[in-house]
Chains A and B, each alone.
Chain A
């Protein structure tokens, strides 16, 4: 039988390609420190993928690189090797590999790792992003949506709510930059975001609403911290949003056809 090409690894490779503008620009500005952090995350994640391949026969995935990129960009600074390795391991193993690898996970492993590091080591400072890097998130989102690998409805909904919040003066610039980078790296993940049309709209809107909410009420929180917390809560809510969307869809069909 002839086969199409939208396999798991194709999607992972396309995701990487879409994130390339953001990754390259970040590497260029962050220099050697960023490259070291990225390499370290790749090595740790690679080891865990290898372990799960040998023990559980789970094929490794290119998505490891996406996770590594997200962690390297957004993880708190000055953690040290051991604590960073602990956080990355927890995120990748408990967030992804124990569920059967990329494609079967329910939360984004990078989000889990970042949340673990953030809550576990609250004294570590979070990174901050300048405007140019945040701008690089826009081509990433456009490429992802155009290739069909990032949920278009989610990105549009998140951006619309963000635009409305900006007009009302509820979002400051640093928070907006961090939230934009978090959107393409953590939230617009095809696997763990909502999977229905309406669910995606709600998912995107909910993410930005969480960001706005935390930015207003969480005193002393860093922009990236707000982003990570919002991404975690939004992705935990995704199955619920999907369920709502399916209920709406089924009840509409029931009204039209008398049966599902």
Chain B
């Protein structure tokens, strides 16, 4: 049964040139502070345009929860603070400081006081860790006082072209263990860590009994956070679950020792419009145009933050993105004849035919057909019973791709989640 489970899933093939050797270090000339995708953050800016900031220095805090800060990804000058009506954050653009000498200055936090749980939370919130955390149900950033029922750490990643977290963790297992220890203090439940099947799991000295390892196979979506949570610790309305990438956990581990939070991350740049794929280490909020500069083949192209399945056209790297996908941009096709349209695309949403491919697109984790029928019919109760609350768009992106529904399923999922969230709002 276990081998069956580890073989579940699909590996859709996407074209991409071979990976260039080595790891590029890129700090882009411009970088931004962004809200997590889909989140509306009312903020209070803590800096003014033109001001110089250190890497990791807070540039804004949430208006209704001043403890939660958004921090500068690199040392530089605040170029533009772009707010929407209601002081909702759109983006804060920074220009890289080229004048400083003697390396970058990184914001230093006092970690000696992190002994108590409230102090630890305040420290992480103030250092800018909060936007890195994903939360389920509904997605977005965790609330300031939210206590998760459990935490999921993604030590494996099966998305196409995703950077291997194991590569990132090389030589950083001590920091990773320290980060996990900090996470065990944030929750009363278990900290689940996904780990590739066949690799030895690291020994954790402290808090090891609160950590549970989830072995995942090589096929997507086995290491998709939603599918892992669905199997191990389903999220519920009163039991939110957080998820974090292993690299961020290692950063937290280093932060707990040195008081400096690294804003770097490994990003894999891939896609069919590239001359060569690359792995780079850059900062959060990096400028995608500079990242892909020199790698793209001539011709119009589309740069997406995220993978080929769940990516979205973007100019900047989001707080939780670790992939950049560049695909050729095709001009919108001319409108076909009305009869052709009637023959091919008049029925929306398209009916889903149950096949083995669909079951595998959910890694056999849940009854896919009844779930999709509940989504299509907008049946909240049935969908929640089948595990809707653990899932987000990224988890069903594969099903959307496999069925050729062009994003319909993700839109249906989001609409249903939004409705449930509104109905259950306090």
Q: Which residues of A contact B (CB under 8 A)?
A: 1-8, 10-12, 53, 57-60, 100-104, 147-149, 151-152, 190-191, 195-197, 242, 245-246, 249-250, 253, 257, 259-260
Contacts and interface: CB of A to CB of B under 8 A. Distances in A.
A16 to B, nearest CB: 13
A11 to B, nearest CB: 4
A4 B347 contact: no
Contacts of A2: 14, 308, 327, 401
Given A195-B370, A246-B367, A11 B355 contact: yes
Interface of B: 12, 14, 233-234, 236, 239, 308, 327, 342-347, 350-358, 367, 369-370, 384-387, 401-407
A8 B308 contact: no
A3 B406 contact: yes
Contacts of B385: 246, 250, 260
Nearest to A245: B367
B337 to A, nearest CB: 14
Given A195-B354, A260-B234, 13 more contacts: A2-B308, A3-B406, A6-B355, A59-B343, A100-B351, A101-B347, A148-B356, A149-B355, A152-B356, A197-B367, A246-B370, A246-B385, A259-B234
Nearest to A146: B356
Given A101-B351, A103-B352, A249-B367, A6 B345 contact: no
A8 B384 contact: no
Contacts of B406: 1, 3
Contacts of B358: 6
Contact of B401 (A3, A102, A152, A259): A3
A57 B12 contact: no
Given A3-B406, A148-B357, A253-B234, A195 B369 contact: yes
Contacts of A242: 367, 370
23 contacts: A5-B404, A7-B350, A53-B346, A58-B347, A59-B342, A59-B344, A59-B345, A59-B347, A100-B347, A101-B347, A148-B357, A152-B356, A190-B353, A190-B355, A195-B369, A196-B367, A196-B369, A197-B367, A246-B367, A250-B386, A259-B239, A260-B234, A260-B385
Contacts of B404: 3-7, 10
Given A7-B350, A7-B403, A246 B386 contact: yes
User: Which of B12, B308, B350 has the most C-beta atoms of chain A within 10 angstroms of its own C-beta?
Assistant: B350
User: Which of B354, B370, B402 has the most C-beta atoms of chain A within 10 angstroms of its own C-beta?
Assistant: B354
Nearest to B327: A2
B344 to A, nearest CB: 6
Contacts of B234: 253, 257, 259-260
B367 A8 contact: no
Contact of A58 (B346, B356, B357, B403): B346
B346 A148 contact: no
B279 to A, nearest CB: 22
Nearest to A192: B354
A5 B355 CA distance: 12
Contacts of B405: 7
A4 B401 contact: yes
A4 B370 CA distance: 21
A147 B356 CA distance: 8
Given A58-B346, A59-B345, A259-B234, A8 B401 contact: no
A246 B384 CA distance: 13
Contacts of A191: 351, 353-354
User: Which of B344, B384, B401 has the most C-beta atoms of chain A within 10 angstroms of its own C-beta?
Assistant: B401
User: Which of B233, B327, B403 has the most C-beta atoms of chain A within 10 angstroms of its own C-beta?
Assistant: B403
A6 B351 contact: no
Nearest to A10: B404
A249 B368 CA distance: 13
B370 A259 contact: no
Contacts of A10: 404
Contacts of A8: 350-351, 353
Nearest to B398: A4
Contacts of B407: 1
Listed from nearest, the 7 A-B pairs whose CB atoms lie closest are A103-B351, A148-B356, A195-B369, A4-B402, A3-B404, A11-B353, A7-B404
A15 to B, nearest CB: 9
B342 A57 contact: yes
A187 to B, nearest CB: 14
A20 B191 CA distance: 53
Nearest to A57: B346
A60 B343 CA distance: 6
A58 B384 CA distance: 30
Nearest to B403: A6
A260 B402 CA distance: 26
Contacts of B308: 2
B403 A53 contact: no
A199 B343 CA distance: 33
A59 B346 contact: yes
Given A4-B404, A103-B352, A257 B12 contact: no
Contact of A257 (B233, B344, B351): B233
Nearest to A12: B353
A53 to B, nearest CB: 6
B401 to A, nearest CB: 5
A196 B362 CA distance: 13
A4 B358 CA distance: 11
User: Which of B347, B402, B406, B407 has the most C-beta atoms of chain A within 10 angstroms of its own C-beta?
Assistant: B347
B260 to A, nearest CB: 39
A220 B142 CA distance: 69
A107 B369 CA distance: 16
Contacts of B14: 2
A253 B401 CA distance: 28
Contacts of B401: 1-4
Nearest to B358: A6
A191 B354 CA distance: 6
Contacts of B356: 147-149, 152
